[in-house]
Amino acid sequence: MTSKMLRAGLGVSVLAMGLGMAAAPAMADPNVEVMHFWTTGGEAAALATIRDKVVAAGVAWQDAPVAGGGGDQAKTALQARIAAGNPPTAMLMLGQNIIDWANEGLLSNVDAVAERELWDSVLPEAVKAFTQIDGHYVSAPTNVHRTDMLWVSVEAFEAIGADYPKTWEELNALAPRFLEAGVIPLAHGGQAWQEAYMFEAVALGVGGADFYRKALVDLDEATLRSETMTAVFAELAALRGMIDENAPGRDWNLATAMVINGEAAMQIMGDWAKGEFTNAGLVPNEDFACIPVPRTSDGGFIYLVNSLSFFDQPEADRKLGQDVLASAIMDPQVQIDFNLAKGAIPARTDLDMTSLDACAQATAADFAAADADGTAVPTFAGTHAAAANIVGAATDAVTEFFNSDLSPEDGASLLADAVLSAL
């Protein structure tokens, strides 16, 4: 046995003892195959913080990325793997999709790790709702994202001498000024999932948290067909007039790059966008600004929980790999380092946030305040607020509206009909 192999073997043996596992017969080297759709520069840098921790523990890491920022392609690839009887060790999944696979009996759990490391006491209920299913931890949470964010080019705003918009009226009034200055007002990637996230951000900003909850969590028909929902689509109509003709099919990170290089003034996107700014070496509040979308009422925060879910594995080497991966994800320093790169905030609530940048610290404070006053709402586009089939039907309606000249009234009716037909 080489010295390298001996060190790896000793590392895993010590790790197994640390995880409270009894000595077992010889088995293949522990390993994990991680399927995900974190493929941009900032996302890859974030995932590397977990990978390095896992590999340092003597566990082999097999990366299985699937391109496509919204995760639709990854879901299709996962279904094919499961149909073939070959699920990955771990998979990046969102919201109700985790619950669905757990209900199918296909997910294993890392309860022993969670109990030993006191996950119950360090995770907020909003996070546990999508990681602990029927009392079992089937996922390990990496972070919490905020989806109702506006990303701003400081250079573009300085060029026209404008303040950042606090209302939708102010934002709309900026568009002709940017166009006159040769700047695209709004960077956008014309993909259905991006338009779904834009829609939910506008829904919260225009209608407030109570409206959002009634419309997109409770799926109340009167709210879906209300004048407020028509106002949401009126704002979407205004936004669709601010994008460039090359937007269709553009990946989200390429839209972010337009803000980074000053080609565009703003982008509405979840705070995963910050990872791209950070990866480009830009400094918050100097080179770019990170602010919530305009709103008609105080408060409100749309949250999305990222986590890696664990598929049942009969092989002991892969099960050990899952436990090591879960522990690595929840390691306090990994949580900090991951989110410095990813642009989000840690899933754990017991960490010192002072090493995070100004954007992340503001997001963490806003999340705590919104959670306390009841205005934190789950992402609809990210399938936290509703089942995937309902979100899919609504997304089709939103993207049909956004890529047409339909009236706001028609858009609201299209959405309501789609949601209600999917129930």
Residue-range domain boundaries for the chain: 3-144+306-355, 149-303+362-422
Q: Pick the closest to residue 296 from 205, 383, 222 (CA basis).
A: 205
Q: Note the pLDDT of residue 2.
A: 38
Distances from the Cα of 236 to the Cαs of 129, 291, 381, in angstroms?
Answer: 31, 19, 15
- If 0-12 CB within 10 Å is exposed, 13-18 middle and 19+ buried, where does residue 7 land? exposed
CB 287 within 8 A of CB 357: no
In tens, the pLDDT along 272-319 reads 999 899 999 999 999 999 999 999 877 899 999 999 999 999 999 999
Using alpha carbons, select from 194, 202, 304, 200 the residue that is nearest to residue 254: 194
Q: Evaluate whether the domain defined by 3-144+306-355 bears CATH number 3.40.50.12780.
A: no
Q: How many residues does the chain have?
A: 423
User: What are the φ/ψ torsions at residue 342 (nearest 5 degrees)?
Assistant: -80, -30
Strand residue runs (E) in 209-346: 264-268, 288-292, 301-310
Q: Counting beta carbons within 10 angstroms of the beta carbon of residue 372, is it exposed (0 to 12), middle (13 to 18) or buried (19 or more)?
A: exposed
Task: Single out the residue of 255, 72, 54 nearest to residue 151, CA to CA.
Answer: 255
Q: Which of 236, 224, 213, 362 is nearest to 302 (CA)?
A: 213
Q: Assign residue 78 a region: left if phi > 0, alpha if psi is -120 to 50, beta otherwise?
A: alpha
pLDDT at 10 over 60: no
Q: Which of 22, 412, 28 is nearest to 227 (CA)?
A: 412
- Residue in the block written with tokens 């669709």: 240
Contacts of 389 (CB under 8 A, 6+ apart): 422
pLDDT at 23 over 80: no
Neighbouring C-beta atoms of residue 320, cutoff 10 Å: 26
Distance CA 245, CA 256 (A): 16
**Average pLDDT of 144-165?**
98
Give the pLDDT confidence of 170-212 residue by residue, as tens digits: 999 999 999 999 999 999 999 999 999 999 999 999 999 999 9
**Across 115-134, average pLDDT:** 96
Identity at 336, one-letter amino acid code = I
Question: Cα separation of 21 and 14, whole Å?
Answer: 10
Three-state secondary-structure class, residue 137? strand
Please report which confidence band the pLDDT of residue 27 belongs to, taking 50, 70 and 90 as the band edges.
low
Q: What percent of the chain has pLDDT over 90?
A: 88
Copy the structure tokens of residue 268.
């509405």
Beta pairing partners, 264: 184
**Tokens found for residue 60:** 């082999």
pTM confidence score: 0.90
Number of C-alpha atoms within 13 angstroms, CB side, residue 59? Answer: 31
Q: How far apart are CA 408 and CA 418, in angstroms?
A: 15
What superfamily does domain 149-303+362-422 belong to in CATH?
Periplasmic binding protein-like II (3.40.190.10)
pLDDT digits (tens, 9 = 90+) for 101-112: 999 999 999 999
Helix/strand/coil for 290 = strand
- 375 Cα distance to chain centroid: 19
Q: Is the pLDDT of residue 19 over 80?
A: no
On whether the CB atoms of residues 216 and 397 are closer than 8 A, the answer is no
- 15 is written with which tokens? 């790790």
Residue type, 294: P
Confirm whether 3-144+306-355 and 149-303+362-422 share one CATH topology.
yes
